C-alpha cells in the first residue's frame, strides 16, 4: 500500500487517537476483566482511560471527545441510550452553561472600567498594594462568579497599567509577571470559596446528590471553605512579590493615566446599572435559593432576563460560549455516574487504598492523601472541572466522610498552578504572551506547598470545629 505524505501527516497528527484506540482494543479484546470487577465496570474504565488520553493530548476536537464518550457507553459500556442521555443534562451542566453565558453577558457591559477605577482608589499607586489588591479582588470576585469572568475583566486593567508604565526602555518582566500572576493565582485560589466559584464545585455537589452522599448548602460550603481563601490571599501576594520582584516600587504615571482613561467612561448607563442589579439578583438566588432550585436553573433564569431586557444578544452568547465544553462536561458526568453504578469507581478506590496502605497505615490520612494527590496531579494535566468529573466518583467511594473528602478533592483540583493549561485564569494570562511556561513553575511550587498547608490547617483545625 502506498502511503502518501498527506496520510503520514494525518497519522502523525492523530497518533494519540490511534494510541488510545489501540490501548482500548487491547484491553477490551485481550485482557480479561478482574474478578473483583464486573464486565461493564471494566469497560467503563477502559473508556475513561481512552478519554483521559484524548483530553490530555487533544488529537481531536473537544466535542468529538464528548461524542465518543456517549457512543462507547452504549456500545461497550452496557448502558442504554436513555440512561446515558438521562445523566447527560443535570444541574451541574446547566450551571456550567449558565455561568459561561453570564460571563459573556457581564463582560460585554464594559463594567471592567468601573472595576479598574474602584481598585485603583482602594490600592493607590504603590506596586505592592496594587499586586495585593489585584490578588484580593480577583479572589473574592472569582469565588462568586468564577475565575474566567474575573480574569477576562481584570486582564485589560493590568495590561493597561503595563502599557502606561515607562521604565526608560528597561525590561519590566518582574512587574508584568507580578501583576498578571496576582490576577491568575488570585482568581484560582478564590474559585473554591463558594459553589458558584467554578464548574467543578457544582459537579461535586451533583455527585453528592446523585450518590446519596449528603449535601452542603451555599452558606455551609462558604463556612467550610472561605477561611482557606482568606488565609491564602495575603500569602499568595507575598509569594508573587518575592518570586517576581517588580522593578518599580510606585506606578504613579501608569495609575494616573489609567484613571484618566477609565474616567472617560462617564456616568453609569441604565444598562450597566440594570445588568449589575440582575447579577446581584442571580447571586442572591445562588446564596438563598439554590438548595431548592439548583445553581444551574438560577443561572439560566439570569440569562433569560439578560436576553429579555436586551442586555446581551443570543448571537453574542452563542459565539462566546464553547458549546463543545458543555457537551464534554455532560458526557464526563454521565460516565462518572456509570463508573459508580457499574462498580468501577469502588474498585479503583479500593485498589488505591489497598496499594497505598503499606505506605500510610492510618486509613483517614490515606483517604485524604489519595483524594488530594489524585485531584492535585490530574488538575495540572487536565482542566480542574474535568478532573473532578472523573475523580469525583472514585473519591466518594474511598469510604470516610464523603463531604469532607469531596471538598478536599475539589479544593486540591484548584492547585493547578504549575502549568498554563490547568486553570482558565492561568491559560488567559499565558495567552497574553507576556509570561512564559517556566514562570508558572517558578511560582507554582511555592503556591502548591502553601495551598497544601492551608488545606491541612483548615481540614484539621477548622472543619472538626464546625462539623
Partner 1 sequence: MVATIMTKKKAPFDPKSLKFLTAVSSVEYSKPTLKMGALIASVFDASHGVVYVGERASEFHGSSVNLTRQNLDNWNIIHPGLEVLEWALQELKKLSSDNEELAKIQFNSDHVYEEDGRVRVILPDDKGCRIELVLREGELVDQLRKEIQLEGYDLAIIGGSQNKRHLAHSILQYLPSSIFVLQKFNPRKKYKLLLLVDDSTATSKSIEWGALIAGKLGWPVRTLTVSKTKRFGAGYQGAADKAKAYFDSRGIEVEQFFLTGDPVRTFVEFAGDNHFVIMGASTLNPVKQFLFGSKPIKTLEQTDVPILIVR
Q: Where on the chain is the footprint of partner 1 (CB under 8 A)? A: 2-5, 7-9, 12-13, 58, 61-62, 100, 103-104, 107-108, 110, 112, 148-149, 151-153, 155-156, 159-160, 163, 320-322, 324-325, 382-383, 386, 421, 424, 427-428, 430-434
Instruction: List own/partner pairs for 76-84 with CB under 8 A and 24 or more apart.
Output: 76/28, 76/43, 76/46, 76/47, 77/40, 77/43, 77/44, 77/47, 77/335, 77/338, 77/342, 78/39, 78/40, 78/43, 78/44, 78/342, 79/40, 79/338, 83/338, 84/334, 84/338
Closest CB to partner 1 among residues 44, 180: 180
| Distance in Å, CB of 5 to partner 1, minimum | 4
Per-residue exposure over 75-85, b if at least 16 CB sit within 10 Å of its own CB, e if not:
ebbbbeeebbe
Closest CB to partner 1 among residues 97, 287: 97
| Distance in Å, CB of 202 to partner 1, minimum | 16
- The contacts of residue 366 (CB under 8 Å, 6+ apart) are 353, 356, 357, 360
Closest CB to partner 1 among residues 339, 386: 386
Q: Measured on CA atoms in the order 135, 183, 189, 430, is the torsion positive or negative? A: negative
Longest Cα separation, the chain: 71
- Looking from the CA of 65 toward its CB, the CA atoms found within 13 Å total 28
| Distance in Å, CB of 316 to partner 1, minimum | 9
Closest CB to partner 1 among residues 262, 410: 262
| Distance in Å, CB of 3 to partner 1, minimum | 5
Closest CB to partner 1 among residues 115, 219: 115
| Distance in Å, CB of 167 to partner 1, minimum | 17
| Distance in angstroms (rounded) separating the CA atoms of residues 334 and 338 | 6
Closest CB to partner 1 among residues 276, 452: 276
| Distance in Å, CB of 180 to partner 1, minimum | 12
Q: 117: part of which helix (H) or strand (E)? A: helix 112-123
Q: Measured on CA atoms in the order 131, 137, 140, 145, is the torsion positive or negative? A: negative
Closest CB to partner 1 among residues 15, 39: 15
| Distance in Å, CB of 348 to partner 1, minimum | 23
433 to each of 177, 246, 437, how far by Cα in Å? 11, 18, 10
| Distance in Å, CB of 113 to partner 1, minimum | 8
- The contacts of residue 5 (CB under 8 Å, 6+ apart) are none
Of 393, 432, 379, residue with least CA distance to 158: 432
Per-residue exposure over 355-371, b if at least 16 CB sit within 10 Å of its own CB, e if not:
eeeeeeeeeeebbbbbb
Closest CB to partner 1 among residues 17, 349: 17
Of 310, 321, 299, 301, residue with least CA distance to 274: 310
| Distance in angstroms (rounded) separating the CA atoms of residues 20 and 402 | 32
N-term to C-term CA, the chain: 67
| Distance in Å, CB of 50 to partner 1, minimum | 17
Transcribe 50-65 into DSSP letters. HHHHHHHH--S-HHHH
Look at the block and give the residue holding cell 502549568: 419
Closest CB to partner 1 among residues 216, 428: 428
| Distance in Å, CB of 13 to partner 1, minimum | 6
Closest CB to partner 1 among residues 315, 464: 315
Amino acid at each position: 500500500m502506498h502511503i502518501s505524505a498527506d496520510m503520514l501527516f494525518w497519522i502523525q497528527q492523530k497518533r494519540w487517537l490511534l494510541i488510545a484506540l489501540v490501548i482500548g482494543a487491547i484491553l477490551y479484546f485481550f485482557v480479561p476483566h478482574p474478578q473483583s470487577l464486573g464486565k461493564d465496570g471494566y469497560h467503563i474504565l477502559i473508556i475513561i482511560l481512552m478519554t483521559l488520553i484524548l483530553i490530555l493530548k487533544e488529537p481531536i476536537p473537544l466535542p468529538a471527545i464528548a461524542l465518543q464518550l456517549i457512543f462507547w457507553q452504549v456500545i461497550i459500556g452496557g448502558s442504554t441510550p436513555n440512561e446515558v442521555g438521562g445523566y447527560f443534562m443535570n444541574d451541574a451542566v446547566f450551571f456550567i452553561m449558565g455561568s459561561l453565558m453570564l460571563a459573556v453577558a457581564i463582560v460585554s457591559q464594559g463594567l471592567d472600567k468601573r472595576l479598574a477605577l474602584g481598585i485603583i482608589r482602594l490600592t493607590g499607586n504603590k506596586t505592592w498594594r496594587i499586586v495585593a489588591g489585584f490578588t484580593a479582588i480577583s479572589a473574592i470576585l472569582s469565588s462568586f462568579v468564577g475565575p474566567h469572568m474575573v480574569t477576562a475583566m481584570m486582564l485589560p486593567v493590568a495590561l493597561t497599567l503595563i502599557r502606561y508604565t515607562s521604565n526608560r526602555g528597561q525590561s519590566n518582566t518582574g512587574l508584568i509577571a507580578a501583576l498578571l500572576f496576582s490576577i491568575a493565582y488570585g482568581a484560582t485560589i478564590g474559585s473554591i470559596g463558594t459553589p458558584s466559584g467554578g464548574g467543578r464545585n457544582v459537579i461535586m455537589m451533583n455527585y453528592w446528590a446523585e450518590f446519596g452522599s449528603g449535601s452542603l448548602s451555599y452558606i455551609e460550603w462558604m463556612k467550610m471553605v472561605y477561611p482557606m481563601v482568606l488565609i491564602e490571599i495575603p500569602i499568595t501576594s507575598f509569594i508573587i512579590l518575592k518570586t517576581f520582584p517588580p522593578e518599580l516600587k510606585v506606578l504613579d504615571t501608569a495609575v494616573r493615566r489609567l484613571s484618566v482613561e477609565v474616567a472617560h467612561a462617564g456616568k453609569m448607563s441604565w444598562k450597566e446599572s440594570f445588568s449589575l442589579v440582575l447579577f446581584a439578583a442571580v447571586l442572591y438566588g445562588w446564596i438563598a435559593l439554590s438548595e431548592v432550585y439548583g445553581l444551574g436553573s438560577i443561572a439560566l433564569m439570569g440569562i433569560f432576563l439578560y436576553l429579555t431586557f436586551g442586555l446581551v444578544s443570543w448571537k453574542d452568547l452563542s459565539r462566546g460560549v464553547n458549546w463543545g465544553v458543555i457537551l464534554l462536561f455532560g458526557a464526563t458526568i454521565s460516565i462518572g455516574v456509570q463508573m459508580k453504578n457499574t462498580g468501577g469507581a469502588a474498585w479503583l478506590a479500593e485498589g488505591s487504598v489497598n496499594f497505598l496502605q503499606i505506605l500510610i497505615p492510618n486509613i483517614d490520612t490515606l483517604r485524604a492523601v489519595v483524594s488530594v494527590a489524585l485531584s492535585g496531579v490530574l488538575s495540572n494535566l487536565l482542566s480542574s472541572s474535568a478532573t473532578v468529573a472523573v475523580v469525583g466518583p472514585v473519591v466518594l467511594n474511598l469510604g470516610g466522610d464523603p463531604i469532607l473528602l469531596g471538598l478536599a478533592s475539589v479544593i486540591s483540583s484548584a492547585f493547578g498552578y504549575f502549568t498554563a493549561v490547568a486553570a482558565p485564569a492561568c491559560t488567559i494570562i499565558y495567552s497574553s504572551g507576556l509570561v512564559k511556561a517556566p514562570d508558572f513553575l517558578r511560582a507554582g511550587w511555592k503556591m502548591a506547598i502553601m495551598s497544601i498547608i492551608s488545606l491541612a490547617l483548615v481540614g484539621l483545625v477548622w472543619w472538626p470545629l464546625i462539623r
